Structure 1
Amino acid sequence: MEERLEQESEGNKPKRSKLKVTLLILGILLLLIIGTAGGVGLYVANALQPVSATDQEVRVSIPQGASSLQIAKELETKGLIKNSSIFTYYLKAKKQGSKLQAGEYNMKPGMSFEAMIDKMNKGETVKEEMIRVTIPEGYTIEQIAAKLVEQTSWSSSVFLQLVDTANGLQGEAIATIPDSKNIKHHLEGYLFPETYEFKKGSTEQDFVERTLQQLDKKLATLPADWKDKLKERGLSVHQMLTIASLIEREVVVDEERALVSGVINNRLKKNMPLQIDATVQYLFDKPKERLFEKDLQIQSPYNTYLNTGLPPGPIASPSLASIKAAIYPEETKYLFYVTKKDGTKGHLFAETFEEHKKNIAASKKTTN
């Protein structure tokens, strides 16, 4: 019996040794797992921390349709985050990746994940440096050229060459411009007056093209019958814009635009000279305070005192209000109008020359 017990005891020794080895291995593996997990945890925790802060801004470009991973890689490349994969997982965990907006951003190293995400979610992009140009209603090509020099670094000579030759320029409205040597500036009246913004680096041609496109867009907003109305009166778009420019230069009070348009229409029907001062003023580099009789005798196809019918083309850039008035004149029997001298800048209208003379006298009395 004792011998058997000794044998069994000796037989258990290897089993115990194997168990100890197994436990030792398992313990080591557990320590390795814990150590690895701890290391990974430390690595992730470190990756979630902001990079070293600096005051130097970094430009980040997020293209349209960029994925979360692409955005994360851009941020890592620019040194704003430590690990793009960790940032991507962070976005997924926070359910933030779908609202990030494309654009150019200025960010500073040291920003937290939350701050960068908030900036991109709100679309707080860098505002591009813009060129702003305002073209007032009723400005001539030469006045616009002076305005461009005043408001931009563009060249007036380059601009004038563009509007005089129209090389490479297209548009629905400008296709109606007749081939006439009498036209002073080919695109006079076709550059729609408005405030425009252009990216820095834009050119004179960009400006001209935009203003031409804007005119086409404005004409597209007119009532559907506007072209039919012109056909009824035998007018082209070019002639309509010419009338609109005359109205623009003659009228200040909005309610009178259609009335003055009616006077022009009535005089054209009767083949009477329009006798519009603004067409004579167009012949000078700068408008005169007062026209004299000798001014009215200047030989020019634009002088509506010496010539019947419309001048060769527009004398300024008309507003949409004047364009509408040119298309839809007020139906009256008025053939004359004179400016009131009471400061209102309105007009007195008359059907006959006798009435017109009385209006002139009445207007002069208000001056006194």
Structure 2
Amino acid sequence: MNENRSRFEQWIHNLQERKKEAKLVRKIVFVSMMVVVFLFIGISVGGYWYISSALKPVDAKNDTPVTVEIPVGSSVDSITSTLAEHDIVKDARVFKYYLKFNNESDFQAGIYELTQSMTLEEITESLKSGKAYHEPLFSITIPEGLRLEKIGELVADKTDYTEEQFMETVSDADFIASLQQTYPELITDEVVQENVRYPLEGYLFPKTYPFYEENPSLQDMISQMVDEMNNEVTPFLDSMKELNVHEVLTFASLLEVEATASTDRRMIAGVFYNRLEEEMPLQTDPTVLYALGEWKDRVVYEDLEIDHPYNTYKHTGLPPGPISAPGLESIEATLDPKGSDYLYFLAGAEDGEVYYSESLEEHERKAELYIYSKNEEKADSEE
């Protein structure tokens, strides 16, 4: 009897334990389900807000243009990744799905000026049209071979700044120092060495610059031009062996003002190198004009006598710094000259054809034939 009672009590105990376990399991299952539900809601809400944010401009108040290059043959993945890398869109994947959802394609390769304030629709339209969605308020075109003072005139013509303010800015010591910190491989201490007339002469790359602000600061405008020179020069830094970057730009600036559109800059560069190797003065007229600060069509003998560091008739080697803004073609010619035995060259008075000579005697004969006699013929015909 006692044994049966004991078994019954054990059965009751086991039943109560199983009820407790079942209750605990139900509680665990309920809590787990609630956690999953809240996680799902949290992820859904978070994902919604993230996607909503990614569909909006990166910074609606930032209209500063960012140059973005889309190479030929770029895929949608490549384009969206490039835009994300330049902080034009917040998320490359979201923009990719935006394009897919809206069935957008046929994007144009090119160089774009985009801003963080642009919507995805505006960016898409820009990529499809091949044009910057925001048109610049004004632009400044700097031709190759232009002197810093003439660049100042262009800036004064397009803005409220004066040429004097421009020249003060490009010569400001603090501004130069800030550029040296930003572009240490381009703007070296040589720009502020003794006898350099203007530290940034030759360092503003010649091209057309769009501006999207009504009145950008002079420092911002000049920095943009220096930045472009840095972009153009940087790929060549490793190949600069005989000359440093300041000397390369100085050399290239001489080519730029000596050469014409039809002239082989590489050949003239080779002549200059030959003269430097022979320790002969370069004897290039534009350096005399730069020394004089007087710009005229013809250099006379007395001009050649000016005692000035930039006068390459008086001093051997390169002048202290650039005398103009060199373009890419002249920079490339400086680094890849054409070899020859020529030590002299001149441009014909009529056709502008360049004639090369190995000796002074030959050079003088060609000068008589292609310059002096042609000038006399022209004077006679005018009479």
TM norm structure 1: 0.64
CA gap 1:120/1:154 in 2 versus in 1, 3 angstroms: same
Q: Distance in 2 between matches of 1:208 and 1:295?
A: 33
SS of the counterpart of 2:340? Answer: coil
Cα displacement (A) at 1:202: 1.4
Q: Distance in 2 between matches of 1:366 and 1:273?
A: 27
CA gap 1:64/1:103 in 2 versus in 1, 3 angstroms: farther
Cα displacement (A) at 1:319: 0.5
Return the letter of the residue paired with 2:260. V
Match of 1:227 among 234, 238, 250: 238
In the other structure, the counterpart of 2:21 is none
Cα displacement (A) at 1:128: 5.4
Return the letter of the residue paired with 2:187. I
CA gap 1:238/1:176 in 2 versus in 1, 3 angstroms: farther
CA contact (8 A) 2:196 2:321 kept: yes
SS of the counterpart of 2:140? Answer: strand
- Does the alignment pair 1:196 with 2:203? no
Q: Distance in 1 between matches of 2:116 and 2:248?
A: 44
Q: Distance in 1 between matches of 2:329 and 2:124?
A: 42
In the other structure, the counterpart of 1:183 is 196
In the other structure, the counterpart of 2:178 is 168
In the other structure, the counterpart of 2:54 is 65
Return the letter of the residue paired with 2:222. V
CA contact (8 A) 1:64 1:102 kept: no
Match of 1:305 among 292, 306, 313: 313
Query: Residues 17-96 of structure 1 correspond to what in structure 2 (within 5 A)?
Result: 65-66=54-55
Return the letter of the residue paired with 1:145. G
In the other structure, the counterpart of 1:24 is none
Query: Residues 201-220 of structure 1 correspond to what in structure 2 (within 5 A)?
Result: 201-220=215-234
Q: Distance in 1 between matches of 2:234 and 2:121?
A: 41
Q: Distance in 2 between matches of 1:310 and 1:221?
A: 23
Match of 1:252 among 236, 251, 260: 260
Structure 2 unaligned spans of 5+: 1-51, 61-97, 105-114, 378-383
Q: Which digits, 9 at most, give the CA deviation of each residue in 1:270-315, with x for residues without a partner?
A: 1111110010111344411111111111111000011111100000
Q: Distance in 2 between matches of 1:64 and 1:334?
A: 66
Cα displacement (A) at 1:341: 1.0
Q: Distance in 1 between matches of 2:205 and 2:137?
A: 20
Match of 2:286 among 270, 278, 281: 278
SS of the counterpart of 2:324? Answer: coil
TM norm structure 2: 0.62
CA contact (8 A) 1:242 1:311 kept: yes
Cα displacement (A) at 1:335: 0.5
In the other structure, the counterpart of 1:330 is 338
Cα displacement (A) at 1:179: 3.6
- Does the alignment pair 1:147 with 2:154? yes
Q: Which digits, 9 at most, give the CA deviation of each residue in 1:53-87, with x for residues without a partner?
A: xxxxxxxxxx983469xx9xxxxxxxxxxxxxxxx
Cα RMSD (Å) = 3.2
Cα displacement (A) at 1:153: 2.0
CA gap 1:254/1:236 in 2 versus in 1, 3 angstroms: farther
SS of the counterpart of 2:165? Answer: helix
Return the letter of the residue paired with 1:342. E
CA contact (8 A) 1:252 1:346 kept: no
Cα displacement (A) at 1:316: 0.5
Q: Distance in 1 between matches of 2:284 and 2:208?
A: 29
CA contact (8 A) 1:131 1:152 kept: no
Q: Distance in 1 between matches of 2:99 and 2:148?
A: 52
